[in-house]
Structure 1
């Protein structure tokens, strides 16, 4: 059985594929998981609520379809304070990728990411059976079942459609997770939501524990998180309406996208890149509200030859191994300033901005 691409088409000159109905998708997905004794659902590295909630929804479906053993796995760490509250308040049992043998699973599913080795620590040789994602990638994923809808604002919205199209009831914890994920992925509907997000949120709101979701929003920053965001503000470089900020060295990887969101509020700024050194890599997070800028394409132009990048027209990210800075050791005190010059220069070049903006 060859791979089936379940997308909604794109705007790159080709005729859009005819979208399949939800029942047809569910039938295809169920057939891929049929007779499987185990399923590993892999979130992307440093997973956000959209990835985790989507994994929980897929777990709910697979369990109802009789898959005996299901594990949700992630690489990296969960550092964003709201993401930690999300996991703790829902009492989620997530497994670390480094302690998991993926080869032991009959089937492997990716949610909210698509390609082994891209935005995840999965070996590139790994066979992936199921991909459900809302990000655009230049090369289509190689999997038996693929539902890739880059016009959708959140992977969680796709999974809500699966659940409502099936006879599987949505439990209160999963509904709460999906509601929080949809809100966070679209920054409470400020960052370009689609009709799918409004409909999905309305659907799960009825089953969700809303006070619990509000408690997730009220989680506290750690001092290290605030320090990292403060450093990005202090170090900002502006050219025209574009801004680059540096959080420096940090163990709080979640501070990087938070700083990008925060700096996008600065008057006159429409495009932001924030980066920092985390666990031996340069982590990137970018945002744009400029309709002329596709920030995912911009990051690809700037960094695809040296790292892994991907995302949407308004939101993207990636990571660059320190091999780009081969002249410097990780502990070299000059590494950060050297990396800053290289990353900042590549980004502004991709944005066609010289020193005068």
Structure 2
């Protein structure tokens, strides 16, 4: 299918009411649905999935299950699910043959960072990330407009459906927008601000505080100790190898934290988890197109990669001998250094940087 044809199938430019009507027509009469997030889901993905569940159940009378692959490991994300009592289950509990309506949120069919089995096709894809070159393959696709969070898209669907989220879902969507846009500071657009303000009167601020400031295990600090100790700083980049991590989303958290380092524009962190190598990239200027850079770096290394503007990530298979795994990491670093213009530089350990005069 050509890119022009897939652009025509993408509903992103249509008003929310029209998109909602098409979604409900497609869902009417279905026996049951599964809404699947991307693997190791973040709050934006989880909140969006639960909001879509509400729409399908209330407006199309379709019983809906929300599922995720991977793990929910970061302390804030665990608190998010626990405190808000979100109705989500591991994908291992889903028998896909028993459901006749499938949706993906905050990801796309061809990206590969989700656990939808290859023999199944999504009926619905809703995602704020840029449309992949492979294009639209689903009967209903709302992908890639200027939104800072997929939660913003789902808020527009709720408003078009005249559905008022309860305190838990309002808080979930609010935090989804807040987290993905870094408090409306990163890649934020008018619809994000409008949705944020619409949700605010109904959120539970006490629950939000418990989500944003959870207790963390000792290994959290141990991981940060290793990350900072191993970090190397180049003229325009900081890179760190986290080794084995206890949760894949810690890789993104470390990349985010290192992006605040004075000087370098690029922040790159990677770590291994269950025979997969996770990499995360942050850049101070969204015009530098982090998503494209990480796809170019990982193009023939297997796995999946994606992102947009100032943030991106990748997941690569990590197998073979120890020497082969080390070689993959070295090649990843070599390619990244070349892509961001620091090839040939030796780098300085972050802890050895001289303080400014």
Match of 1:140 in 2: 135
C-alpha distance after superposition, 1:247-295 (max 9, x if no partner): 1112222211110111001110211111101111000111111355211
Per the TM alignment, residue 23 of structure 1 is displaced from its structure 2 partner at its CA by: 1.1
Which residue does 1:349 correspond to in 2? 338
TM-score, structure 2 as length reference: 0.90
CA contact (8 A) 1:229 1:255 kept: no
CA shift at 1:335, angstroms? 6.0
The structure richer in helix per residue is 2
Matches of 1:138 and 1:225, distance apart in 2: 37
Q: Is residue 161 from structure 1 mapped to residue 150 from structure 2 by the alignment?
A: no
Aligned to 2:202: 207
Query: Which runs of structure 2 are paired with 1:172-191 in the superposition (5 Å)?
Result: 172-191=167-186
Structure 1's unaligned 5+ residue stretches are 8-18
Instruction: Give, in angstroms, the shift of residue 200 of structure 1.
Output: 0.7
State the partner residue of 2:282.
Answer: 287
Q: Aligned partners of 1:189, 1:245: CA distance in 2, in Å?
A: 27
Aligned counterpart for 2:120 among listed residues 119, 126, 137: 126
- Which SS does the other structure have where 1:163 is aligned? helix
Cα displacement (A) at 1:149: 2.5
| TM-score of the pair, normalised by structure 1 | 0.90
Tell me if the contact between 2:280 and 2:314 (Cα under 8 Å) persists in the aligned partners: yes
For residues 1-357 of structure 1, the aligned pairs below 5 Å read: 4-7=9-12, 19-115=13-109, 118-136=112-130, 137-306=132-301, 307-323=303-319, 326=320, 328=321, 332=322, 337-356=326-345
CA offsets, 1:234-259, max 9 Å, x none?
11122221111111112222211110
- Structure 1 position 82, deviation (Å): 0.4
Q: Deviations over 1:203-255 (max 9, x none)?
A: 11111112211111111222222222222221112222111111111222221
1:190 is displaced (CA, Å) by 2.4
C-alpha distance in structure 2 between counterparts of 1:58 and 1:313, whole Å: 26
Instruction: Answer with 298-307 or 233-242: which moved more.
Output: 233-242
Higher mean displacement: 206-215 or 222-231: 222-231
3-state SS of the aligned residue for 2:113? coil
Deviation at 1:117, TM superposition (A): 6.0
CA RMSD of aligned residues (A): 1.8
- State how far apart, in whole Å, the 2-side matches of 1:48 and 1:95 are: 14
Mapped partners of 2:80, 2:314: distance in 1: 23
Quick check: 2:84–2:168 contact (8 Å CA) kept in 1?
A: yes
Q: 2:351 matched to which residue of 1? A: none
- Residue 68 (structure 1) shift: 3.8
Over residues 2-49 of structure 1, what are the superposed CA-to-partner deviations in whole Å (9 max), with x where a residue is unaligned?
Answer: 993112xxxxxxxxxxx2111111111111111111010001100000
CA distance in 1, matches of 2:199, 2:148: 16
Q: State the match for 1:14 in structure 2.
A: none
Distance, in Å, in 2 between the alignment partners of 1:263 and 1:42 is 31
* Residues in 1 aligned to 2:169 and 2:273: alpha-carbon distance in whole angstroms: 31
Secondary structure of the residue aligned to 2:30 is coil
The answer to whether the Cα contact below 8 Å between 1:134 and 1:153 also exists between their aligned partners in 2 is yes
**Equivalent residues of 2:282, 2:312 under 8 A apart:** yes
Take 1:196 and 1:251, find their aligned partners in 2: how far apart are those partners? Answer: 35
Rounded to whole Å, the distance in 1 between the matches of 2:280 and 2:61 is 36
Secondary structure of 2:344's counterpart equals coil
